Amino acid sequence: MRSVLRPAVNRRHLLRLGAGLSLAAFASTTETRRAASQSGLIEGYANGDGVRLHFFSDGQGELMLFLHGAPDSAMLYASQLAEFSRNHLVVAPDLRGYPPSDQPDAVDAYAMPRLLGDVHALLRHFGHERCILVGNDWGGCIAWVFASAYPNRVQRLIILNAPHPSIYLREVRHNPAQIQASQYERGYHSAVAPYPAWYNYYRADPIKVPASIADAAQMDTPDLAAHFFAGVAEPPASTSLRINVPTLVIWGMQDPACLPGQLDGIHDYAPDTTMVRIADAGHYPMQSHPAQVNGAIRDFLRRA
């Protein structure tokens, strides 16, 4: 759910932050399109929830929908798109706020109801009732919430280094280590305009990171369901945030922002969860360990 990159971070600092950090955030749109073209991906646009979403797609069969995080792009999943397009329709959008998708200015445009609407819109665009939903970082947060609310639209859920929002809320209220690891988020709230549109994911998020454990004790606990589902176009089947579809969680254990405590209690929210821990991976195991990640996904999809 959380980006590990800070505003104006340089390459040296990026490399220091830990194994597996993505350089995709620094790729230009031109470079992204060139890479996609070389891989044979199809480029297109879909109408989302009030925005136009750019996507890459390939293959045929069951829909696998890949959601990236902040600040990344659809090509974060280049290795997975190549692998799973062999027997699936793979689709990776550039989420709202990331060019060439639309980048609305309003903070409310990045609230969870709009993000859920984008996922519904992508399913409609490709003519599929259900999908295998894959998410990392903020894309993983969207995926957790969508799968909990619309289990009839998600065949299987695959999460890569993205905490369940209820667990993340717990950790930034009670775990000093996670509070310290998440301090970079506070910079997105205090940034003075103009700032990148994707900062608004954090500004719209009801979960705010405290300055310290003492500060956390003074903060109100937000009602996540009230924030996530207020005004959604399609009524949720449940607002419990409990996942009732088969789930695979792949976690790079060297992630400097999403600490291993985020794994504690996952089965309380997603009882049918398969866990794969990659000891030497960071926030982006799909890039640093593509063969291991692809193999874990293949095994999960074969499971009855």
φ, ψ (nearest 5 deg) of residue 300: -65, -40
Burial class (CB in 10 A: 0-12, 13-18, 19+), 147: buried
Q: Return the pLDDT at 16.
A: 30
Q: Are 229 and 149 in contact (CB under 8 A)?
A: yes
Residue (of 45, 69, 68, 72) closest to 56 by Cα position: 45
Q: Tell whether the torsion through CA atoms of 24, 25, 30 and 33 is positive or negative.
A: positive
3-state secondary structure of 289: coil
Q: What's the pLDDT tens digit per position in 156-170?
A: 999 999 999 999 999
Q: Which domains, and CATH codes, for the chain?
A: 18-262+278-302 (3.40.50.1820)
Q: Are 248 and 156 in contact (CB under 8 A)?
A: yes
Average pLDDT on 86-107 reads 98
- Give the C-alpha separation, 39 to 46, whole Å: 21
Q: Quote the percentage of the chain above a pLDDT of 90.
A: 86
Tokens standing for 262? 């985020």
Q: Are 118 and 95 in contact (CB under 8 A)?
A: yes
CA 24 to chain centre: 14
Q: Return the pLDDT at 32.
A: 53
Average pLDDT on 234-239 reads 97
For residue 1, what pLDDT band results from cuts at 50, 70 and 90?
A: low
Tokens standing for 299? 């095994």
- pTM of the complete model: 0.90
Residue 280 has pLDDT above 50, yes or no: yes
Cβ atoms within 10 Å, residue 210: 17
Give the residue ranges of DSSP H helices in 150-276: 165-174, 176-181, 184-190, 200-204, 213-217, 224-229, 266-269
25 or 17: which leads in pLDDT: 25
3-state secondary structure of 156: strand
Mean pLDDT score of the chain, rounded to an integer?
90
Q: Three-class SS string for 61-113?
A: CCEEEEECCCCCCHHHHHHHHHHHCCCCEEEEEECCCCCCCCCCCCHHHHCHH
